Amino acid sequence: MSTIKIRAKESKGIVTVKALMKHPMETGQRTNKKTGDKFPAHFIQEVVGKANGEEVITVHWGPAVSKNPYLTFAYSGSKGDKLELTWLDNQGNTDSQISEVK
């Protein structure tokens, strides 16, 4: 099951993309009240968006981004574009989702 939900809609040659990513986005600063240890940092570092295989956006994030981040962006495109969104976190985990522009 993918951790990414994408909605992409075209209007007048501009595609607006809305994406929700399910991820804990742990900063590494929070303390476990039971053990006193800090929770290890676990956050998305990079998000890449491609339309028909061509990169349209690259986002670099740090630990200050909230849990389950929401990303919206726009690019010049058309209905039927194959949109792929991929994230990579600081622990080497990755996920990807492909959607068609409506």
Q: How many domains does the chain have?
A: 1
In tens, the pLDDT along 40-82 reads 999 999 999 999 999 999 999 999 999 999 999 999 999 999 9
- Decide if 11 is inside a domain: yes
**What is the average pLDDT value for the chain, to the nearest integer?**
97
pLDDT of residue 2: 84
CATH number assigned to the domain comprising residue 85 = 2.60.40.10
- Decide if 34 is inside a domain: no
- Decide if 63 is inside a domain: yes
How far apart CA 16 and CA 72 sit, in angstroms, is 7
Q: Provide the residue range defining the domain that includes 44.
A: 4-29+39-100
- Number of residues written out for the chain: 102
Q: Is the pLDDT of residue 102 over 90?
A: yes
Provide the token pair at 5.
């939900």
- Decide if 13 is inside a domain: yes
pLDDT of residue 101: 98
| CA 33, chain centre distance (Å) | 30
